[in-house]
């Protein structure tokens, strides 16, 4: 009896209880459906923050949109150099002494012969005064000797004196005349010595630099370490020219009187008209260049010696009235085509961005930009065929 009841209890435990409650059957389906809807968003985020970050960047070269003149299209050669005054001098004294007066400063204009400085010369003035006094005494002696010679000549002609007395009077006369000449030469030497202590401007110009101050020793060749060789530097500002180094391989493109356009680094937006004045007939073997001197057609007060400059050599038949208005340009290597449209790729925060542009004239190796770009924007040169907006870019050095 007890065994039968135990067996029934064990079998009843194996039965499925169909009355137990289970979760709603549609809940997992809804979660699965939501997952499929969010899958594109998840993939997009994963691409931008995962796959895209590890994608290697394209290495390219870049350039910037710049302003250029119309004459740039006609430029046959470009060279660099410096503004130099062809009439330029370091003015010094011929004498050695202590600087007593300095009458100029940087920027002062002087005329030919103007006194720039003066050395201490009281001793030389005294020597000059002594030489002049000796000259006057010799002249007085000469007058006395002349009168005596005249008297003795009359007496000799009348037969009242001997030949020896007359010869002595004649010798004294000639000796006095020679002494006057010697004293005159001495007085001139004293005047020259005094003038050597006065430093004058050798030509009309502008004082560029001052090399000595009052109280310093000045020597013609600065033989002593504590002495100055020059007092000031003067330049004729009307003689300013550009000395440009032209490569030997391109010197055949330069001829005398060839028109040029000069651009100073100090004023990059200003163009100065000029022409080739001279081609120096020798080459620099260390740099393989030939110096070319380019003169300004009109000297401007803004042009200063030692300014760096760029020279654009133009054709001999260049028309100065040709259009030279500034315009936006880019290198032609930046142009490419997408969907039959002329485009360029800008570089923004390390990422390429396509930009449709409208181009104008061809200016040498550059092209005019009418619309689509602004001055200063960085663009990609020689963009690869598969380049597209959003690609990571690394600029090659």
Whether 242 is covered by a domain: the verdict is yes
Paired tokens of 157:
């002609």
Q: The domain spanning residue 345 has which CATH number?
A: 2.40.420.20
Domain count, the chain: 3
Confidence (pTM): 0.59
Residue 159: Cβ-neighbour burial (10 angstroms; 0-12, 13-18, 19+): exposed
From 203, 233, 263, the end of a domain falls on: 233
Q: How far apart are CA 310 and CA 80, in angstroms?
A: 4
Please give the pLDDT value at position 110: 94
Q: How far is CA 292 from CA 169, 194, 373, in A?
A: 72, 43, 38
Structural domain boundaries enclosing 218 = 90-233
Domain holding 97: CATH number? 2.40.50.100
Calculate helix-pair angle for 163-195, 122-158, nearest 10 degrees: 160
Q: What is the pLDDT along the chain (397 residues), one digit of tens a residue?
A: 455 555 555 555 555 555 554 445 556 667 667 777 777 767 666 655 555 555 566 788 888 888 776 666 667 688 999 999 999 999 988 888 899 999 999 999 999 999 999 999 999 999 999 999 999 999 999 999 999 999 999 998 888 889 999 899 999 999 999 999 999 999 999 999 999 999 999 999 999 999 888 988 888 765 555 567 789 999 999 999 999 999 998 899 899 999 999 999 999 888 899 999 999 999 999 999 999 999 999 988 899 999 999 998 888 877 665 555 667 888 888 888 888 888 999 988 888 888 888 888 776 677 888 888 888 898 888 888 888 888 888 887 6
pLDDT of res. 328: 84
Q: Is residue 5 part of a domain?
A: no
| pLDDT, position 150 | 93
The candidate with the shortest Cα–Cα distance to 241, out of 179, 315, 168, 293, is: 293
């Amino acid at each position: 009896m007890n065994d039968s009841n135990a067996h029934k209890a064990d079998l009843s435990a194996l039965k499925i209880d169909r009355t137990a409650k289970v979760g709603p059957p549609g809940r997992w389906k809804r979660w699965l459906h939501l997952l499929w809807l969010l899958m594109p968003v998840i993939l997009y985020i994963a691409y931008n923050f995962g796959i895209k970050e590890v994608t290697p960047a394209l290495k390219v070269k870049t350039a910037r949109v710049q302003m250029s003149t119309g004459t740039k299209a006609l430029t046959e050669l470009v060279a660099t150099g410096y503004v130099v005054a062809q009439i330029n001098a370091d003015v010094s004294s011929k004498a050695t002494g202590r600087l007593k007066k300095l009458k100029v400063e940087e920027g002062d204009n002087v005329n030919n012969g103007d006194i720039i400085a003066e050395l201490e010369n009281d001793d030389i003035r005294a020597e000059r005064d002594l030489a002049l006094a000796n000259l006057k005494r010799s002249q007085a002696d000469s007058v006395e000797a002349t009168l005596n010679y005249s008297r003795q000549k009359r007496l000799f002609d009348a037969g009242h004196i001997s030949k020896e007395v007359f010869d002595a009077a004649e010798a004294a006369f000639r000796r006095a005349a020679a002494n006057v000449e010697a004293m005159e030469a001495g007085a001139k030497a004293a005047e020259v010595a005094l003038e050597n202590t006065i430093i004058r401007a050798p030509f009309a110009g502008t004082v560029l630099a001052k090399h000595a101050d009052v109280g310093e020793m000045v020597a013609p060749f600065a033989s002593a370490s504590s002495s100055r060789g020059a007092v000031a530097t003067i330049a004729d500002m009307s003689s300013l020219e550009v000395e440009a180094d032209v490569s030997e391989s391109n010197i055949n493109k330069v001829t005398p009187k060839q028109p040029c356009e000069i651009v100073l680094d100090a004023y990059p937006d200003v163009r100065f008209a000029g022409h080739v004045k001279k081609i120096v007939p020798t080459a620099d073997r260390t740099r393989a260049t030939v110096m070319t001197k380019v003169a300004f057609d009109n000297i401007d007060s803004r042009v200063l010696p030692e300014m760096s400059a760029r020279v654009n050599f133009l054709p001999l038949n260049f028309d100065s009235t040709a259009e030279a208005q500034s315009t936006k340009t880019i290198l032609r290597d930046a142009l490419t085509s997408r969907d039959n449209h002329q485009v360029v790729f800008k570089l923004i925060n390390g990422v390429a961005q396509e930009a449709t542009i409208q181009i104008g004239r061809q200016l040498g190796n550059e092209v005019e930009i009418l619309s689509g770009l602004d001055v200063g924007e960085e663009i990609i040169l020689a963009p690869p065929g598969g380049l597209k907006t959003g690609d990571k870019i690394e600029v090659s050095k």
